[in-house]
Every structure is written in C-alpha cells, then in structure tokens.
C-alpha cells in the first residue's frame, strides 16, 4: 500500500493516526452489518429515555472529542432510538426501509464528497445515467429534463415552477407573478399537502389550488375538473396546471392519467404527477397498468427513498420539455462560467435545473440500488408489499372485531378495532390507545390517520422486509390489545 | 454475535450472504481510507476518458448485478474522476474538502436510514442539538427557529419565505402575492446569484431584487440602500427585505451587518444574511469581528459543507423569530397528526419548518464533525486557510509576471499571469489557457471568473488540506505555464 509522504498531517483535519481511524471504521462496519441483520430481534420502536434526551441536548465541547468517544455515544444514544423504518413491522406513514448496499454507497458518496452542481466529473455522469434509467422506466423521451432532489415535495416545487414559467411565457423569473392574472391549479381532494405547500412557496397561495372531489373510483373527477376550469376562466383567472396523484397517501388511490391528459390538453394545462410512492408500481407488470398514461405527462415527481428502498433522501423530477426545464432555472454569473475543457467544462450543469447550486452525491446510492436489484427484483418486491396488504385486508375482513376503513388499494390498509357497543368517539379513543400500545410495546408501527372523519390505524407497506408473519403478528397484536384496552374504555 | 433466526432472507432485499456483504464493506473501508490518505499522490483533477463516459451511459440491466461487480465499476469509473475537492491543491469555486470522520458518519446515517420529517426518534434530537450549537455559535436566542437544508440556496429560500410571510401579514400562504403591493428587496451588486434565484422561486421575480452598488470597502452601500428604499416606497412598492453578504463569492467581500441592521430597522425590513462560507469566520477569534452584528439579524443562511468540511450536502438556516418560522411552513393533514406518546409524538416536527416532508439524516455528519474537531480546531483551520490566501497574495505581488485582480480578503485570491505587451483580450485568452493547463496537468484547480470585466484565476481556500507548499506549487506552475503558453500566444 503506497502511503503519502506528505508531512505534518496534524495541520489538516485528517486523522493523526490513520490506522486508528481505519480500525474504528472496520468496527463500524461490523456493528452496522450486525444491526441490519438483527432488526427482527429488536422492538419495532422504542421511546427515547429521558437521560438519552438529556445527553442529546448537551452543549458543544469547544476542544473536540475523539472519534471513538463520539462513536460510542452514537451506539448508545442514537442508533437504538430510530423510528423503526428498517424493521420488518414498520408500516407507518410512507417510509422506505433502506438496504445494506444503500448504506455502503452512502459511505462511498460521503468519502468522495462530490458537489453535483456541475463541472467535469464522473459523479455528474452517474446522476445523468440514473436519470436516463428513470426516463426509460417511465417512457419519457431522451431529451426530457430531470434532476434528483431531496424528495417529492421539492420535486413538485420544481415541476410546478416549470409549469409557472410556461404559463407566464417566461416572464415570471424577471417580473414575478404579482402583476399577472391569477394562476390557478387543480388537484384532487385526496392529494398530499406537499402540493398546497408548493403553491404557497411559489407565491401562488393555497387558495389558487382548487381541490376537486374524487369520483366513485377515488380518482380526481374529470367532469368536476372541467367545470372548475371553465368557472375560473370565466372569472378572469388563468388555469395553468393540474396535479394528479398516483398513490394517495391516505388510502392509496390513483387518478386516471389518460383522462386527465385529455382534459389538460383541452384547456392548455400542465399535467404534473405526484407519484411519491405509487410511481414504483411501474416496475411491476401486475400493477403498471394503473399508471397508464404516465409516459405522456408533463412532469413526474417521485421518490427513490420510499418504495424503491434507496436510503434517505432521494427524490426525482422528470420534465418532458427539457429546454423549458433549463430555461426555468438557468443562471450563471462570472464565477460560474464554464470552459471548453478542464474541470470547469462538462455542460450542462445540474445547477441550471433546480434551485440548488451545491448538491450532494445522492445519485450514487440510487445507482447502486438500481444496478444491484434491477427492475425485476424491485418489481417483485413491490408486488410482495401489495400481497402483504391484501393479506392484512383479508384478515381484517375475516375478524369480527376488526374492520376496514377504506378499500385496500395496492399497499395501503386503513382499519380499526371495533367494539359493537362503543360510540364513534369511544372507538376513536380505543384505536388511538391501541396504536400507542403497539408502538410502546415495540410490536409494530402503523401510523394514525382519519378516514371519513374517524380515527384509523394506517398500514402502508413500503417495506421489503415485511413478510406474512409480520402481517399476522400485527393483526393478532391489534386484537389482543383491543380486547385488553376495550375492557378499560367505558363502552 | 446473535443472528436473527428469521427465515427466508431471499424474499427481502437483504443480502443472501451477509458475510460476503460484510467482507465487501471491509474492503471498501480499506479502499476509502487508502484513497483519502493518498490524495496528494494523485492529480488534483483528471478528465473522464471517453470509454468511462460510455460505460456511465449504459442502460440498466433489468436482472440486477452483484454488489462486487458494481463496486468494481465504482472503483474504475467513478472514484478516479472526482472533481478533486478532496485534494490539497483544489481551490475552485467554494468547495469543502470533507473529512474521514464525515465519510464514516455518512455510512452510519445511510444505515439508520432515518427520515427527519418529524416523529419520536433520536435522529430528530441530534438535529435539534446541532441547531442549538449553531444558535450558540452565532448568538441566536434559544427560542429561535432553524433547520438543516441542502445548502445556502435552499436556506435563503426558506429565510426569504419567512420574510415574505411577515411582510404580507401571513396572507401569502393562502392568497399568494398576486393581489398585493409589489414586494421588493435589496442586496449588493456582489451578492450571489442564489439570492435572485430565491426571489424567482418565491414568485417575486428578479426585478424585485434591487442590486445596490458597493461602497469603497466593498460592502453594500447603506446610503444608496436608503435612497432605493425611499424611491420604492414612493413608487407604491413594499420594501420588505435586505439580503446581506458575508463572504462574497467572487472576492470575499463583507457587508457591514451593524449598519444594515440600523437601516433595516428604520425601514421595517427583514435582514437576511448569506453567509454560505463566510459565516465560518465566526469560529476564528481573529476574523469573527468582521461578522459583528450577526447575532442581531433576522435570518442567517450558511453551509456546513463548505468551510466547515462536513460532506455534501449540509446547509442551515437560523430564524430569529421561531414562531414566525413555524407559521410560514406548518401544515398537517389527517395522515400527519401527532399523538401524545408513541412513535407519532415528538413535536415539534421539522416538516413544519421548511418545504420538505421527507428529510435525510444530514444532521449526523454535522454532529460528528462539530463534536470531533470542536470549534477551536475548526477556527484554527479557518485561520490557516486565510494564511494560505495571504501567502498566495504576497507571492503574486512579489512576482512581476503575476498580478492581483482584487485585494485579498479572507480566503479568496483573484489573480492572473501578465505579459506586458499583451492586449486585454490576449491576457484573457492566455489566462484561460493557463487555467485549463493547470487542470489538465492535474497540478491544481483554481476556477475561472471575471473581475472588472477581465478573466481571472480565482483561488478560494475552503480546504483544510492546503498547506504552504500547495500555494507555492500553484504559483510556480502558473509562472511556468504562463511563460510556456505566452510564447504561443500572439503578443
């Protein structure tokens, strides 16, 4: 092994003792591999004890501490108190579980410490390659735009910023929107709150996002959409975008993209898709038909860190019109001019396709994950998640003391324990108590929601580690706790 | 070592052979430690060969590949072609170098795979602790708001979104800005283009950001600012924010925060600070006085991934009014309700303080970095960077064939090679050629810029590995290449 003969390592921040650092890193590998391998032996969640919370609010020691001491603290105060989304019985919210290869690629990326804003470097090519794979997967043309972002929230901000740029004829960047006709958009009443937050950030306001009711199939009702567009236009507003949802967060519902495309074309609307987790259905031959039309939308936002199991954070937006994408964000000053060759070459630069100039190398973990598992195995994993949801749905329907709160769609199950004589308010209280017991006993982590105004236990399986025995364990624990707790609740 | 008796690992995405994965991870540790240790033995930059670029544009194999094969490709096609910012003679743009402990913590964070949107988990406490350390460092009160983001670009978007929320009396979130008096802001002509991009994203438009000339000291001229505010108000506009720069990207200039605070108070303006790299001066007793008044600003955006050497990406915004910060972004729907206890507790949640709902665990690498080095050693590193800039400035002034293009401020040196008989255009061409030769020979990586309209070699030392011998090597290489190339240029 060659070693640098560079003198005086102590003047830099590099280790004084490289071999001690190497040994610590090897120890960390063993600890992390063991931890990942033994997730099932641990509770799905555990509360942070008071003394740990206190340790994690200490002031900073100005003189520094050894790597070993900090690592020991990490093992004691941080690692045991994760939310549990690496555990097979974590079903809460919409959380990916991550993978060992994803963890390792996080180490490689942090070592290279690449800034993906642009310039001539292989990491930029890795991100371009990942985006090409995404284009291929969703049927986007090769000239289309795209960029990795922290997640679907930011991807939706970028998609709608491009839509705004188109709607204003490119004037928004210089003039802003203040002196323009009111830009209004449309989404379903089941849409995620990140859509409204994007409208807020962009200066359009949440009032400018019309919530259209869903139809009998749970998708955005195209007739009511048409009516709303006509009314807005009659009122002098400027309808500019419709945001479709593929995989609604609460119940897993899907909008019909082909129908929405026709409506959007008729009214010159940008069609943006929130596919945060649901876009992963594209990998499954069984479920891909539910996404029919996704190759014809104007922009698609989705996450690699949810159902596709890339470690946090990694989202993506694809924009059909690559030139418009660039025109929305491109900005250079003297210190950002590029050259024909050398380190300052390598156009186009990613900083011209989004709001971030410095950008981490999240592309590497996507690259490792997609290459290692391939689309086939990831598609099978998606189907297996749905199989577990189906299993849970069937079990809930088979148990007199359990009931479904919404039809099972794809990977989402909303259900509750029921006690026939309990009032609606008592049932809410009872199920909230069951949820907290499931968490606090470390048995499983569903998340709380409301369906039709009533409290529900929500199970969203974006977890490659979940198997049938985990589903059965959840059902049995819910029944057992429900029976125990309902004895305590005034019914 | 206990092992899970969970059956059928092949059904999940976990390794079929955990010991093979462990062995690969140990190999990666050795490779990455060797790579970091030997940076000086490698060229500062090397071009991506055509065959590597081709390999990095292959389609995805649907059937997957082994971890070992992908890792081998990484070693061959990605790792050797970084931009060079881990190398001691990388001086381009404003890039941090990263550290070994930062790399290791990237592995730990990717293993835990925490989503920092909220909920009851230790990673949220780690981010709160890191933010408390930042508050302490910059003299922000304990109730102030703060959040980690991808970098200063996003941190400025968040800071200005809060400013906009205040200026509109909280109406912007629902109503947008379209029917309101025109919101205008102010910054110096030396400000970074991320400020204008933030105005664009927020729907205000870059025209609404007035560029105020700098005064003799290179800072935003307070008299011209006052005049501009009065003119805008007289024109019926609504002046709402001034954005100060501490560490201008091109020349390292600083605005006077105490003076700007007084002007802002007089005109009811929000005072936001872009401290992307310059805020790190706070850690140095020698340079902290240049930031006087930073404890009285309304919002401060800065990066941990630049001069503070945390691996990409990691930026931060602090907001003096924590309640206003939360009011700008808070948004919950049924699926995001929190509970008194269990996994869904742990208020406040970070998703209420920014545009992102899913958020990676970048706090961990900040936590490791700040704890290991402490403020003292990081402050010494900042001073050592400035010492290298001073050394380069002195060398440039001592050499007849080199000239400074701007006064050396802090860690930024803009200079060029000169040939007495060359025209301004010939000098531009000559220095561009020198830059590219420096890159292509792998000797050093300054970046290109223009100062006073003329091409300059820009050196920004945010690099803890840079020592005096690197500065001397750069000066000598510039002289040697300049002499060689100027013989080829028609002078």
The radius of gyration of chain B from alpha carbons, rounded to an integer in Å, stands at 25
Instruction: For residue range B76-115, list pLDDT tens digits in order.
Output: 999 999 999 999 999 999 999 999 999 999 999 999 999 9
List the single residue in B12, B207, B343 with the smallest CB-CB distance to A45.
B343
Q: Beta strand A454-460 with A299-303: parallel, antiparallel or unpaired? A: unpaired
B240 touches chain A (CB under 8 A): no
B381-486 and B114-360 share a CATH fold: no
β-sheet bridge partners, residue A188: A212
B interface mutation test: which of A106, A194, A304 has the most B CBs within 10 A? A106
- Residue A488 — pLDDT band, cuts 50, 70, 90? low
Output the furthest CA–CA distance in chain B (Å, rounded): 80
A452: left (phi over 0), alpha (psi -120 to 50) or beta: left
Q: Among A53, A128, A43, which Cα is nearest to A86's? A: A43
DSSP A149: E
Contact B197, B208 (CB under 8 A): no
Buried b or exposed e, range A349-376, using 16+ CB within 10 angstroms: bbbbbbbbbbbbbbbbbbbbbbbbbbbe
Residues of A in contact with B121 (CB under 8 A): 48, 81-83
Specify the fold of B114-360.
3.40.640
Interface of A with B in 155-174 (CB under 8 A): 157, 161, 164, 172-174
Residue of A nearest to B459 (CA): A335
| Residues A428, A489: Cα–Cα separation, whole Å | 11
Residue A243 in contact with residue A335, Cβ under 8 Å? no
Q: Which residues pair with A445 in a beta bridge?
A: A90
Q: What is the pLDDT of residue B488?
A: 60
The tens digit of pLDDT for each residue in A205-230 reads 999 999 999 998 889 999 999 999 99
Residue among A15, A93, A133 whose CB faces B335 most closely: A93
Cα separation, A10 vs A43, whole angstroms: 43
| For range A35-54, the mean pLDDT | 97
Average pLDDT for A356-379: 97
Q: Which pair of tokens denotes residue A82? A: 């994760």
CA–CA dist B320, B159 (Å, integer): 10
Q: How large is the average pLDDT for residues B296-322?
A: 98
Q: Please say if the pLDDT value at position B7 is more than 60.
A: no
User: What are the distances in angstroms from CA B437 to CA A337, B229, B390, B479, B485?
Assistant: 17, 47, 24, 12, 9
Q: How many CB atoms lie within 10 A of CB B19?
A: 9
Cα angle A373, A374, A378 (rounded to 5 degrees) comes to 70
Select from A335, A115, A4 the least CA-distant residue to B467: A4
Residue A417 and residue A482 in contact, taking contact as beta carbons nearer than 8 Å: yes
The shortest C-alpha distance from B34 to chain A (Å) reads: 8
A169, two tokens: 């004829």
Give per-residue pLDDT as tens, A92-139: 999 999 999 999 999 999 999 999 999 999 999 999 999 999 999 999
Name the band, by pLDDT with cuts 50, 70 and 90, for residue B491.
very low
Cα–Cα separations (whole angstroms), residue B384 to A12, B57, B286, B398: 9, 41, 11, 21
Task: Name the least confident of A251-255, B166-170, B344-348, B474-478.
Answer: A251-255
**Residue A87 DSSP code:** S
Decide if A13 and B113 are in contact by the 8 Å CB cutoff. Answer: no
Buried b (16+ CB within 10 A) or exposed e, B369-396: bbbbbbbebbbbbbbbbbbbbebbbebb
Residues 84-143 of A with CB under 8 A from B: 84-86, 88, 92-93, 95-116, 119-123, 125-126, 128-129, 132-133, 136
Is the separation of the CB atoms in A455 and A93 below 8 Å?
no
Q: What is the three-class DSSP state of A137?
A: helix
Q: To probe the interface with B, which of A112, A132, A315, A443 has the most B CB atoms within 10 Å? A: A112
Q: Which two tokens stand for residue B455?
A: 């091409």
CA distances from B250 to A57, A331, B292, B388, B411 (A): 38, 16, 21, 17, 11
pLDDT tens by residue, B28-77: 999 999 999 999 999 999 999 999 999 999 999 999 999 999 999 999 99
- Give the nearest chain B residue to A375 (CA atoms): B62
From B369, B191, B74, select the one nearest A114 (Cα to Cα): B74
Domain extents in chain B: 114-360, 381-486
Average pLDDT, chain A: 95
How many CA atoms does the CB half-sphere of A254 hold within 13 Å? 25
Helix extents (H) in A188-288: 193-201, 222-234, 257-266
Q: In this structure, are residues B353 and B113 in contact, taking their beta carbons and an 8 Å threshold?
A: no
- Give the length of chain B: 491
For residues B412 and B199, what is the distance between their CA atoms, to the nearest angstrom?
27
- Tell me the average pLDDT of chain B: 95
Looking at the complex, does the CB of residue B288 fall below 8 Å from at least one CB of chain A?
no
* Rounded Cα–Cα distance for residues B331 and A168 (Å): 28
**CA pair distance A350, A16, nearest whole angstrom:** 36
Q: How far is it, in rounded angstroms, from Cα B55 to Cα A273?
A: 31
Q: What pLDDT is stored for residue A368 in this prediction?
A: 98
- Distance of alpha carbon B412 from alpha carbon B397, whole angstroms: 15
Per-residue pLDDT band for B4 (boundaries 50, 70, 90) equals very low
Instruction: Report the distance separating Cα A363 and Cα A369, nearest Å.
Output: 10
Per cent of chain A over pLDDT 70 is: 97
Q: Which of B329, B175, B242, B235 is nearest to A177 (CA)?
A: B175
Residue with tokens 């009872």, as numbered in its chain: A430
Assign A428 to helix, strand or coil: helix
Under a CB-based contact definition with an 8 Å cutoff, are residues B160 and B185 in contact?
yes
A320, A322, A384, B194 from A145: Cα distances, Å: 6, 4, 32, 21
pLDDT digits (tens, 9 = 90+) for B411-438: 999 999 998 888 999 999 999 999 999 9
d(CA A344, CA A324): 24
Of B8, B374, B458, the CB nearest to A62: B374
A220-227's contacts with Cβ under 8 Å and 24+ in sequence apart are: A220/A186, A220/A187, A220/A188, A220/A244, A220/A245, A220/A255, A220/A256, A220/A260, A221/A188, A222/A256, A222/A259, A222/A260, A222/A262, A222/A263, A225/A186, A225/A260, A225/A263, A226/A263, A226/A266, A226/A267
Give B403's strand partners.
B416
Reported confidence tier of residue A8, pLDDT bands at 50, 70, 90: very low
Rounded distance between C-alpha atoms, residue B75 and residue B77, angstroms: 6
In this predicted structure, the answer to whether residue B2 has a pLDDT above a threshold of 60 is no
Q: Give tens-digit pLDDT for A424-453.
A: 999 999 999 999 999 999 999 999 999 999
Whether residue A374 and residue B62 make contact (CB cut-off 8 A), yes or no, is yes
Assess whether pLDDT exceeds 50 at residue A388: yes
Distance CA A143, CA A153 (A): 24
Percentages (nearest 5) of helix, strand, coil residues in chain B: 45, 15, 40
pLDDT at B244: 98
**pLDDT of A237 strictly over 90:** yes
Q: Does B447 touch chain A (CB under 8 A)?
A: yes
Rg (CA), chain A: 25
* ipTM of the prediction: 0.97
* B111 contacts B465 by C-beta, under 8 angstroms: no
Q: Which CATH number fits domain B381-486: 1.20.1730.10, 3.90.1150.170, 3.40.50.1460, 3.40.50.360?
A: 3.90.1150.170
CA B146 – CA B151 distance, rounded (Å): 13
Residues with Cβ within 8 Å of A151's Cβ and at least 6 positions away in sequence, in order, are A276, A303, A305, A313, A314, A315, B356, B357, B358, B359
Q: Is B44 helix (H, G, I), strand (E, B) or coil?
A: coil
CA B346 remoteness from chain centre: 30
Of B339, B476, B465, the closest CA to residue B401 belongs to B476
- Structure tokens given for A95: 């959380």
Report the Cα A216 to chain-centroid distance in Å.
27
Does residue A346 contact residue A338 with C-beta atoms inside 8 Å?
Answer: yes
CB B274 within 8 A of CB B252: no
Which helix H or strand E contains A390, and what residues bound it? helix A363-398
pLDDT at B5 over 80: no
Cα-to-chain-centroid distance, residue B313: 8
């Amino acid at each position: 092994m060659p070693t640098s003969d560079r003198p005086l390592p102590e003047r830099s921040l590099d280790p004084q003792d490289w071999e001690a650092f190497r040994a610590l890193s090897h120890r960390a590998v063993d600890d992390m591999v063991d931890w990942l391998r033994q997730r099932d032996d641990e509770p799905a969640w555990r509360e942070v004890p008071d003394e740990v919370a206190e340790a994690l609010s200490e002031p900073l020691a100005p003189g520094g501490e050894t790597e070993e001491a900090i690592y020991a603290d990490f093992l004691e105060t941080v690692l045991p108190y994760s939310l549990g989304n690496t555990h097979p019985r974590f079903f809460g919210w919409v959380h990916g579980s991550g993978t060992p290869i994803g963890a390792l690629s996080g180490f490689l990326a942090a070592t290279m410490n690449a800034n993906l804003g642009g310039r001539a470097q292989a990491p930029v090519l890795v991100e371009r390659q990942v985006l090409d794979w995404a284009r291929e997967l969703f049927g986007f043309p090769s000239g289309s735009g795209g960029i990795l972002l922290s997640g679907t929230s930011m991807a939706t901000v970028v998609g709608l910023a491009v839509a705004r740029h188109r709607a204003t004829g490119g004037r928004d960047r210089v003039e802003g929107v203040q002196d323009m006709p009111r830009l209004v958009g449309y989404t379903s009443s089941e849409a995620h709150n990140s859509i409204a937050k994007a409208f807020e950030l962009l200066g359009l306001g949440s009032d400018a996002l019309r919530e259209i009711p869903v139809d009998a199939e749970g998708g955005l009702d195209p007739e009511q959409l048409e009516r709303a567009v006509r009314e807005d236009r009659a009122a002098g507003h400027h309808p500019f975008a419709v945001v479709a949802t593929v995989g609604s967060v609460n119940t897993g519902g899907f909008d019909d993209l082909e129908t929405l495309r026709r409506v959007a074309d008729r009214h010159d609307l940008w069609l943006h898709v929130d596919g945060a987790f649901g876009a992963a259905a594209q990998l499954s031959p069984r479920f891909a038909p539910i996404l029919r039309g996704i190759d014809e939308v104007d922009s698609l936002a989705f996450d690699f860190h949810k159902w596709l199991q890339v470690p946090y954070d990694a989202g993506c937006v694809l924009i059909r019109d690559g030139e418009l994408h660039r025109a929305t964000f491109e900005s250079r000053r003297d210190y950002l001019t590029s050259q024909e060759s050398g380190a300052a070459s390598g156009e186009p630069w990613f900083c011209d396709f989004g709001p971030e100039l410095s950008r981490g190398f999240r592309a590497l973990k996507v690259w490792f994950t997609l290459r290692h598992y391939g689309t086939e195995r990831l598609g099978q994993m998606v189907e297996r998640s749905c199989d577990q949801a189906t299993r849970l749905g069937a079990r809930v329907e088979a148990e007199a003391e359990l009931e479904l709160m919404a039809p099972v769609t794809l990977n989402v199950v909303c259900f509750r324990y029921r006690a026939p004589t309990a009032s609606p308010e008592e049932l809410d209280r009872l199920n909230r108590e069951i949820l907290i017991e499931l968490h606090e006993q470390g048995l499983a982590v569903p998340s709380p929601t409301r369906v039709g105004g009533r409290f529900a236990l929500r199970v969203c399986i974006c977890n490659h580690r979940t198997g049938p025995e985990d589903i059965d364990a959840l059902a049995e624990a819910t029944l057992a706790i429900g029976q125990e707790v309902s004895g305590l609740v005034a019914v």
